[in-house]
Structure 1
Amino acid sequence: MAYGLHIEREDPIELVEWIATVTAHGERQLDEANSTAINPVTGAKIAVQGQDGTVAILVEGQWARVFHWNRGKISFKAPSSTSRDDPIMSAALLLASELAAFVSGDEGEIYDGSD
Protein backbone atom coordinates (compact mmCIF):
# COMPACT_ATOMS: atom_id res chain seq x y z
CA MET A 1 0.00 0.00 0.00
CA ALA A 2 1.27 3.50 -0.83
CA TYR A 3 2.38 5.87 1.89
CA GLY A 4 0.02 8.81 2.25
CA LEU A 5 0.64 12.47 2.90
CA HIS A 6 -2.02 14.93 4.01
CA ILE A 7 -2.71 18.64 3.96
CA GLU A 8 -4.37 19.39 7.27
CA ARG A 9 -4.75 21.83 10.12
CA GLU A 10 -6.35 21.98 13.55
CA ASP A 11 -9.78 23.01 12.22
CA PRO A 12 -11.17 21.04 9.26
CA ILE A 13 -10.67 22.31 5.72
CA GLU A 14 -14.21 22.76 4.44
CA LEU A 15 -14.98 21.55 0.91
CA VAL A 16 -16.11 25.04 -0.17
CA GLU A 17 -12.80 26.56 1.04
CA TRP A 18 -10.81 23.80 -0.68
CA ILE A 19 -12.60 24.35 -3.99
CA ALA A 20 -12.11 28.15 -3.78
CA THR A 21 -8.39 27.70 -3.07
CA VAL A 22 -7.89 25.19 -5.89
CA THR A 23 -9.74 27.16 -8.54
CA ALA A 24 -7.83 30.38 -7.79
CA HIS A 25 -4.76 29.01 -9.62
CA GLY A 26 -4.49 27.99 -13.30
CA GLU A 27 -2.25 24.96 -12.83
CA ARG A 28 -4.79 23.03 -10.78
CA GLN A 29 -8.39 22.09 -11.40
CA LEU A 30 -11.24 20.06 -9.98
CA ASP A 31 -11.41 16.59 -11.54
CA GLU A 32 -14.42 14.89 -10.01
CA ALA A 33 -15.30 12.76 -13.06
CA ASN A 34 -15.77 9.01 -12.94
CA SER A 35 -12.89 6.94 -14.29
CA THR A 36 -12.07 3.37 -15.24
CA ALA A 37 -9.07 1.17 -14.64
CA ILE A 38 -8.04 -2.30 -15.78
CA ASN A 39 -7.21 -4.97 -13.22
CA PRO A 40 -3.68 -6.08 -14.28
CA VAL A 41 -4.26 -9.65 -13.08
CA THR A 42 -7.75 -10.41 -14.40
CA GLY A 43 -8.07 -7.81 -17.15
CA ALA A 44 -11.44 -6.79 -15.74
CA LYS A 45 -12.54 -3.19 -16.23
CA ILE A 46 -13.14 -1.43 -12.91
CA ALA A 47 -15.36 1.66 -12.66
CA VAL A 48 -14.28 4.21 -10.06
CA GLN A 49 -16.83 6.85 -9.05
CA GLY A 50 -15.53 10.41 -8.93
CA GLN A 51 -15.41 12.17 -5.57
CA ASP A 52 -16.15 15.74 -4.52
CA GLY A 53 -12.96 17.74 -4.06
CA THR A 54 -10.65 15.61 -6.20
CA VAL A 55 -8.03 17.85 -7.78
CA ALA A 56 -5.68 17.44 -10.72
CA ILE A 57 -2.48 19.42 -11.21
CA LEU A 58 -0.22 19.93 -14.19
CA VAL A 59 2.78 17.60 -13.98
CA GLU A 60 5.17 17.81 -16.92
CA GLY A 61 2.40 19.26 -19.11
CA GLN A 62 -0.13 16.53 -18.28
CA TRP A 63 -3.11 16.73 -15.90
CA ALA A 64 -2.75 14.22 -13.06
CA ARG A 65 -5.31 13.53 -10.34
CA VAL A 66 -3.35 13.98 -7.15
CA PHE A 67 -5.30 15.47 -4.25
CA HIS A 68 -8.39 13.99 -2.62
CA TRP A 69 -10.51 15.91 -0.09
CA ASN A 70 -12.15 13.81 2.61
CA ARG A 71 -13.54 14.79 6.01
CA GLY A 72 -11.70 18.07 6.33
CA LYS A 73 -8.26 17.10 5.06
CA ILE A 74 -6.63 16.52 1.72
CA SER A 75 -4.72 13.30 1.06
CA PHE A 76 -2.30 12.26 -1.66
CA LYS A 77 0.20 9.51 -2.42
CA ALA A 78 3.69 10.41 -1.24
CA PRO A 79 5.84 11.40 -4.22
CA SER A 80 9.26 9.81 -4.76
CA SER A 81 10.86 12.99 -3.36
CA THR A 82 9.49 15.20 -0.61
CA SER A 83 11.62 18.18 -1.63
CA ARG A 84 10.14 21.32 -3.18
CA ASP A 85 11.77 20.21 -6.46
CA ASP A 86 9.07 17.56 -6.89
CA PRO A 87 6.02 19.11 -8.64
CA ILE A 88 3.51 17.25 -6.47
CA MET A 89 5.23 18.18 -3.23
CA SER A 90 5.66 21.75 -4.41
CA ALA A 91 1.92 21.98 -5.16
CA ALA A 92 1.05 20.41 -1.80
CA LEU A 93 3.23 22.85 0.13
CA LEU A 94 1.76 25.81 -1.76
CA LEU A 95 -1.79 24.62 -1.12
CA ALA A 96 -0.99 24.06 2.56
CA SER A 97 0.37 27.59 2.82
CA GLU A 98 -2.72 29.05 1.13
CA LEU A 99 -4.95 27.14 3.58
CA ALA A 100 -2.87 28.00 6.70
CA ALA A 101 -2.25 24.26 7.01
CA PHE A 102 0.70 21.86 6.94
CA VAL A 103 1.74 18.66 5.15
CA SER A 104 2.03 15.57 7.34
CA GLY A 105 2.66 11.88 6.80
CA ASP A 106 0.65 8.84 7.85
CA GLU A 107 2.86 8.56 10.94
CA GLY A 108 2.40 12.22 11.95
CA GLU A 109 5.71 13.62 10.69
CA ILE A 110 5.65 17.13 9.22
CA TYR A 111 7.08 17.95 5.78
CA ASP A 112 8.42 21.38 4.82
CA GLY A 113 9.97 20.58 1.43
CA SER A 114 13.56 20.68 2.66
CA ASP A 115 14.30 16.96 2.01
Structure 2
Amino acid sequence: MAVGNKDKIREIYEVLPKLNCGFCGFGTCGKFARAVAEGRASPFGCRQNLWPGYRISEIVGMKVPAYSYGFPVPFLSPLGVRPSLQALREQVRTLSQNVENILGRIEKLKARR
Protein backbone atom coordinates (compact mmCIF):
# COMPACT_ATOMS: atom_id res chain seq x y z
CA MET A 1 0.00 0.00 0.00
CA ALA A 2 1.45 3.36 -0.98
CA VAL A 3 2.14 5.97 1.69
CA GLY A 4 -0.24 8.35 -0.10
CA ASN A 5 -2.99 5.75 0.17
CA LYS A 6 -2.35 5.36 3.93
CA ASP A 7 -2.68 9.12 4.32
CA LYS A 8 -5.91 9.06 2.33
CA ILE A 9 -7.30 6.26 4.51
CA ARG A 10 -6.37 8.18 7.65
CA GLU A 11 -7.98 11.36 6.32
CA ILE A 12 -11.18 9.50 5.41
CA TYR A 13 -11.23 7.79 8.81
CA GLU A 14 -10.94 11.13 10.62
CA VAL A 15 -14.13 12.35 8.90
CA LEU A 16 -16.19 9.31 9.96
CA PRO A 17 -18.20 9.13 13.22
CA LYS A 18 -16.03 6.20 14.45
CA LEU A 19 -18.98 4.24 15.85
CA ASN A 20 -17.89 0.95 14.24
CA CYS A 21 -21.56 0.03 13.81
CA GLY A 22 -21.03 -2.04 10.66
CA PHE A 23 -24.08 -0.62 8.86
CA CYS A 24 -21.80 0.20 5.92
CA GLY A 25 -21.10 -3.50 5.48
CA PHE A 26 -17.42 -3.36 6.42
CA GLY A 27 -17.60 -3.94 10.18
CA THR A 28 -15.55 -0.96 11.32
CA CYS A 29 -14.99 2.62 10.26
CA GLY A 30 -11.33 1.81 9.57
CA LYS A 31 -12.22 -0.99 7.15
CA PHE A 32 -14.81 1.26 5.49
CA ALA A 33 -12.21 4.04 5.09
CA ARG A 34 -9.81 1.59 3.46
CA ALA A 35 -12.52 0.29 1.11
CA VAL A 36 -13.38 3.83 0.01
CA ALA A 37 -9.72 4.72 -0.53
CA GLU A 38 -9.30 1.59 -2.65
CA GLY A 39 -12.45 2.37 -4.66
CA ARG A 40 -14.42 -0.62 -3.32
CA ALA A 41 -17.07 1.46 -1.52
CA SER A 42 -19.06 4.63 -2.07
CA PRO A 43 -18.03 7.73 -0.09
CA PHE A 44 -21.67 7.84 1.03
CA GLY A 45 -21.61 4.33 2.54
CA CYS A 46 -21.73 5.51 6.16
CA ARG A 47 -25.32 4.98 7.31
CA GLN A 48 -24.88 6.78 10.63
CA ASN A 49 -24.41 10.16 9.00
CA LEU A 50 -24.44 10.97 5.29
CA TRP A 51 -22.67 14.31 5.68
CA PRO A 52 -19.14 12.84 5.80
CA GLY A 53 -19.78 11.49 2.31
CA TYR A 54 -19.38 14.96 0.83
CA ARG A 55 -16.02 15.50 2.56
CA ILE A 56 -14.87 11.97 1.70
CA SER A 57 -15.80 12.65 -1.94
CA GLU A 58 -13.45 15.63 -1.89
CA ILE A 59 -10.67 13.52 -0.36
CA VAL A 60 -10.92 10.83 -3.05
CA GLY A 61 -11.38 13.39 -5.83
CA MET A 62 -14.98 12.57 -6.70
CA LYS A 63 -17.31 15.34 -7.80
CA VAL A 64 -20.85 15.22 -6.42
CA PRO A 65 -23.78 17.64 -6.57
CA ALA A 66 -24.29 19.82 -3.51
CA TYR A 67 -27.88 18.58 -3.26
CA SER A 68 -29.21 15.23 -4.33
CA TYR A 69 -32.18 14.92 -6.61
CA GLY A 70 -35.40 14.59 -4.62
CA PHE A 71 -33.70 13.16 -1.52
CA PRO A 72 -34.27 15.09 1.70
CA VAL A 73 -31.23 16.42 3.49
CA PRO A 74 -30.86 14.20 6.57
CA PHE A 75 -30.63 15.32 10.17
CA LEU A 76 -31.63 18.93 9.57
CA SER A 77 -34.64 20.88 10.68
CA PRO A 78 -36.36 23.23 8.21
CA LEU A 79 -34.13 26.02 9.51
CA GLY A 80 -31.00 24.05 8.61
CA VAL A 81 -29.95 23.44 12.21
CA ARG A 82 -29.36 20.05 13.79
CA PRO A 83 -31.98 19.36 16.46
CA SER A 84 -30.79 19.05 20.04
CA LEU A 85 -30.75 15.74 21.85
CA GLN A 86 -33.59 16.98 24.07
CA ALA A 87 -35.69 17.89 21.01
CA LEU A 88 -35.08 14.45 19.52
CA ARG A 89 -36.08 12.77 22.79
CA GLU A 90 -39.29 14.80 22.84
CA GLN A 91 -40.06 13.77 19.26
CA VAL A 92 -39.50 10.12 20.16
CA ARG A 93 -41.80 10.47 23.19
CA THR A 94 -44.50 12.07 21.05
CA LEU A 95 -44.19 9.43 18.33
CA SER A 96 -44.27 6.64 20.92
CA GLN A 97 -47.42 8.11 22.43
CA ASN A 98 -49.00 8.35 18.97
CA VAL A 99 -48.19 4.69 18.34
CA GLU A 100 -49.68 3.71 21.70
CA ASN A 101 -52.85 5.67 20.87
CA ILE A 102 -53.15 3.97 17.49
CA LEU A 103 -52.60 0.52 19.02
CA GLY A 104 -55.24 1.30 21.65
CA ARG A 105 -57.75 2.24 18.96
CA ILE A 106 -56.99 -0.95 17.06
CA GLU A 107 -57.65 -3.02 20.19
CA LYS A 108 -60.96 -1.20 20.73
CA LEU A 109 -61.98 -1.93 17.15
CA LYS A 110 -61.09 -5.60 17.59
CA ALA A 111 -63.18 -5.74 20.77
CA ARG A 112 -66.25 -4.44 18.89
CA ARG A 113 -66.24 -7.45 16.57
- The structure with the largest strand share of the pair is 1
Indicate whether the TM-score tops 0.5. no
Query: TM-score when scaled to structure 1?
Result: 0.28
- The structure with the largest helix share of the pair is 2
The answer to which structure, 1 or 2, has the higher relative contact order (CA under 8 A, 6+ apart) is 1
Query: TM-score when scaled to structure 2?
Result: 0.29
